[in-house]
């Protein structure tokens, strides 16, 4: 099982998504899969990012709710979460 580390920005992003009424159980399901080291299902559209977030991965929790993370052998670092407009300006 991998350790999950959350950045301060990620924690603020989660609070913002909660205020917007998002179902955090969906996020928790993805985080559980990442912690177990599982490959995410195709519906999450997991991919490698380039540009500003080079070297990280992105997956879709919902159509306009993303998770940006970095995955190493022993831990997963949760960097950001939010809508496209929150993350890519």
Q: What distance in Å separates the CA atoms of residue 43 and residue 73, rounded to the nearest whole number?
A: 24
Catalytic choice (3, 84, 86, 88): 84
Reply yes or no on whether 60 is catalytic. Answer: no
- Residue 56, classified by CB atoms within 10 Å of its CB into exposed (0-12), middle (13-18) or buried (19+), is middle
Supply the residues annotated as catalytic.
Answer: 84
């Amino acid at each position: 099982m991998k350790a999950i580390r959350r950045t301060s920005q990620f924690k603020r992003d989660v609070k913002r998504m909660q205020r917007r009424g998002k179902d955090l159980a969906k996020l928790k399901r993805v985080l559980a899969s990442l912690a177990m080291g599982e490959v995410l299902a195709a519906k999450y559209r997991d991919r490698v990012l380039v540009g500003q977030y080079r070297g990280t991965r992105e997956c879709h929790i919902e159509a306009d709710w993303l998770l940006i993370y970095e995955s190493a052998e022993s831990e997963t670092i949760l960097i950001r979460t939010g809508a496209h407009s929150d993350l890519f300006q």
